[in-house]
Amino acid sequence: MKITLGVNGTRHEVDTAANRLLSDVLREDLGLTGTKVGCDTGHCGACVVLVDGVPAKSCCTLAVQADGAELRTVEGLSADGKLSSLQEGFQEHHATQCGFCTPGMLMSLTHLLEHDPNPDEASIRARLDGHLCRCTGYQNVVDATLYAAKKNASPVKMIVDSWGKRFYENQVRCLIAGDANRLVEENYLPDATVQSFDWTVTGHEALRAHFGNYMRWVKIIEVVSTDKFTETDNTVCFEATVRSNRGVVRVYDVMTLKDGKITYHFTGVK
């Protein structure tokens, strides 16, 4: 079968039998041997790659399932030989010994940091649950990830102007009012203000759907407290405790700036 795989930004046309695993096609057909295969039951995690941005075990995925997908593998993490913060953390903290499990861990942890720029030790360990490492005892992997989070946070300072501040206040107001449509219209539909902010928000539709669900499923009755509104380093986040039809819940979201681009991570309810 002819399939198309985007790998680390390059498009590949591959002719493969349907029964071949994604890991095999990456390693054998595309020569990307950085992805490792350590088991045959999907329990070691060495083969994890990102498929359309989502970690997947490439030994549990048929290559044909990834037809048309954009993949990221360990070979795509560094740019011009410059290690990513996470890779750098692995070296600083001696998080790789034999290095066989490392590529899978790097991919999962890259995904983690992109969605939770400031993870704590417990959430890093939880993320590593799908990865077996026989050399390190995991502690240095945790430390490497914490290092990367800190490094990502420190060098860029994000300035939230009065618009940004209004944006969040407005969001909380909308949540209270339960007016999803207004929220979406005022904040997410492209307009001059938003564009000037260089949003890289992907999938407006997804966000809108998410919010739609949010509003239908959690009716916010009142804000109990605004717990956090911080603009430290390159991250802005707010957290509020609200009383809803589902009891008292915390809503939060996070926005990060990296390489001059703002990424918006809607994370919903804790």
Partner 1 sequence: MNGERTLGARMKRVEDPALLQGTATFSADLSLPGMVHMAILRSTEAHAEIRSIDTSKAVNMPGVLKVITSADIAGKIMPLPCIWIPGGAESHFPSHPFGVPGAGPVLATGRVRYVGDPVAVVVAETLQAAEDALEHIRVDYKSLPAVVTAEQALSADAPQLHDEVKGNLNALCTYGDKSAADSALENADVTVQLETLNQRTINSPLEPRVSLGEYIPETGEYVLRGTSQSPHDHRLLLALMVLGIPYNKLRVISPNIGGSFGTKGYLYADMPLVLWLAREIGRPVKWTDTRRGLMRSTVQGRDQHMKGWLCGDKSGRITGLKVESLANLGAYPSTIGPGVATAMVGRCVTSVYDIPAAYAEVKAVFTNVVPLGAQRGSGRAEATYLIERLIDLYARQIGLDPTEVRLKNMIRPEQMPFDNRMGWRYDSGDYPATFQRVRDLVGYDSIDAAKAEARSRGKYLGVSVTPFVAVSGVGPSPRMSKEGMLGGTWESANIKIHPTGEISVIIGSKPHGQGHETSFGQIVADELGVPLAMIEVLHSDTKRAPFGQGSYGSRSFSVGGAAVLQAAVAAKEKLIALAAHIFNVPATHVTFAQGKLYPNNEPARAKTVQEVALAMWYGWDLPHGMEPNLDVTTYFDPPDFNFPHGAQAAVVEVDEVTGQVDVRRFFGVHDVGVQGNAMIVEGQVHGGIAHGIGQALWEGAEYGADGQLVTRDLATYALPRATDLPRFTVETTITPTPNTALGAKGAGEIGTVGAAVAISNAVCDALAPLGVKHIEMPLRPEKICLAMQSAAQNSRSSERKS
Partner 2 sequence: MSSAPFAYYAPETLDQALELLGSNSSVRVLAGGHQLVPVLARRELRADMLVDLRRVNALHGIRPTGDGVILGAMTRLQEIAQLPALVGSALSDAIEALGDHETRLQATIGGSVASLEAANDVLSALSVHGAAVECATPGGNETVGLETLLRDGLPKSAIIVAIRLPDAAPSTGSAHVRVRDPASLYPICAVSVSLRRDSKGRVKDPVVAVTGATEKTCRLSAAEEALDGQSFPPVLERPVLTANDCVSDHVSGAEYRALLGNELVRRAVSQAASRVAR
220-232 β-sheet, strand order: 220-232, 235-244, 247-258, 261-269
Which residues, numbered 167-206, are part of the site for partner 2 (CB under 8 A)? none
We find the least distance from the C-beta atom of residue 263 to partner 2, in angstroms, to be 18
List all residues 6 or more positions away from 115 whose beta carbon is below 8 Å from its beta carbon: 265, 267
**Residue number with CB closer to partner 2 (112 or 201):** 112
Structure tokens at 186: 């005022």
Per-residue HEC secondary structure of 107-132 comes to HHHHHHHHHCCCCCHHHHHHHHHHCC
Question: Which of residues 77, 146, 180, 249 is near partner 1 by CB under 8 A?
Answer: 77
Q: Give the integer Cα–Cα distance in Å for 235 and 269.
A: 18
Question: Which of residues 22, 44, 48, 236 is near partner 1 by CB under 8 A?
Answer: 44
Strand partners, 11: 6
Q: Does 110 bind partner 1 (CB under 8 A)?
A: no
Place of tokens 């740019």: 79
Q: Does 214 bind partner 2 (CB under 8 A)?
A: yes
Q: Does 36 bind partner 1 (CB under 8 A)?
A: yes
Question: Which of residues 10, 18, 43, 181 is near partner 1 by CB under 8 A?
Answer: 43
In the complex, which residues of this chain contact partner 2 (CB under 8 A)?
1, 17-21, 24, 40-43, 45, 48, 54-57, 59-62, 64-65, 67, 108, 126-127, 129-131, 209, 212-214, 216-218, 246-247, 249, 268-270
